[in-house]
Chains A and B, each alone.
Chain A
Amino acid sequence: MVKHSKGAVLRSPAMHGGALAILVTVEAVAIGLLGLLVAGLLRSHAEVLRALHDLGAGLGEAHDHGPTPAMAQPQREAATDAVDLVGTTPAEDPLAVAVTNTRHSTLLAFLSSGCLTCAGFWEAFRDPGGLGLPDGVRLVAVTRGADEESVSQLRRLAPTEVPVVLSSAAWDDYRVPGSPYFVLVDGPSGRVTGEGSAAAWPQVVSLLRNALEDATAHGQGPMKRRSLPARWSTDAEREARADGELMAAGIVPGDHRLYPSAVEEPAER
């Protein structure tokens, strides 16, 4: 060791080489440990994704359906009978929704609280007026039952103007493969007339319209429904005209002349 006048200490070349070797060794060990850590994290991440997928809350992919075949042709070989919905609301009140023996058709949106793709649909359903649903089609969201869903999350997600039914039985009845999934039920015939998955709401509407037009072209159930709005429109015009004429004559809502005390019963057939 050589001592300089100001007391500084210079290490010999042999000592300098030994320190460098220790430093390199420590660095190599640290890199090795970090590598193990990253590998562990990646494995853990894969296990989490696999578990989420098994729970039906994967990264929004339509399970077993390939790339977003929105409102594809029915998986069933022929149109099958639909089933009315019985379940609960997100507030866990008992609820029954009729989809058969109705004048309207019903678009059942099978969603879950956890799937990422479903989040876009929950958001869209908050503004039913902006959904652009064809006339005579009622939208109903269906999730699995309270024992298989996050009820607290559903209460946050549930739109106020679209019915939400929690019913695992409905998922089984309609053989829903995963979420999101859509089933179109023709009310008058009580038959499933279209179904499929979609990644975004505009796809659903576009293909829903196509399904209705196809059904109309083939003379199937929805044709009846599609004729209804025109009749309703005519009724509305007639009602508005009658209201106008009555008001012009000084007869306003609540006028006793609108409610005669005796009305003849219609003849029994």
Chain B
Amino acid sequence: MARLRGHGLALDLGPGWEGQISRRSPGRGETTHPVLHAATFALPPTRGDFGSGAVETMQPEDILVTLLEHHPDATGTPLFSASGPPFPLRPDSFSPTSLQRMLPGQSGMQAFFTWRGRALCLYVVLGSHFLRARLVRRVNDVLSTLAVDPPPVTP
């Protein structure tokens, strides 16, 4: 089992899973934050934060898990008021209308929450809405290994 760890996030990837934790280089005056992608299919190197460029290649049994951190100022705002992670997920959390990019057959869910002082967005895409009951179990298996470090203390 591969352990993916970096930028204060960690995730265990089971057989057939791959992933990356990236953080873009900030431009002048910008702040950037980690983005975690985990997938059961070949992730293209060039893809959007919410998986554009990758979701188009998904087969019905494929899964894409995305965890995006937002600016620390977002913690405590109404959008991120949920405390703690939203998983385990349930099949009825998913809907074809919850996709950032609606593709035939696919299904998605999105949740915003604060965990260990970090403002996070979880976005999951399933290759098939019809197969969501089975696929959600695999999503929960991998999410159960997610670890989030508290934000670094700034002087």
Binding site for B on A (CB under 8 A): 84, 86, 89, 91, 93-98, 100-104, 138, 160-164, 239, 243, 253-254, 258-259, 263, 265-266, 268
Contact = CB atoms under 8 A, between A and B. Distances in A.
Contacts of B79: none
Contact of B22 (A93, A97, A101, A163): A93
A89 B22 contact: yes
Nearest to B62: A103
B147 interface: no
A266 B97 contact: no
A96 B131 CA distance: 26
Given A94-B6, A138-B42, A254-B102, A89 B20 contact: yes
Given A84-B2, A89-B22, A253-B102, A102 B46 contact: no
B19 A101 contact: no
A98 B16 contact: yes
Nearest to A256: B97
* Interface of A, helix, strand, loop or mixed by DSSP: loop
B94 to A, nearest CB: 10
Given A94-B5, A96-B4, A259-B96, A161 B46 contact: yes
B125 interface: no
A11 B128 CA distance: 107
B129 interface: yes
Contacts of A265: 91, 133
B134 A266 contact: yes
Contacts of A84: 2, 18
A98 B16 CA distance: 6
Given A84-B2, A93-B6, A94-B20, A266 B42 contact: no
B13 interface: yes
Contacts of B19: 95-96
A165 B129 CA distance: 33
Nearest to B21: A94
Nearest to A88: B6
A84 B16 CA distance: 9
Contacts of B97: 259
A19 B27 CA distance: 73
Nearest to A160: B46
B92 to A, nearest CB: 10
Contact of A266 (B20, B23, B44, B130): B130
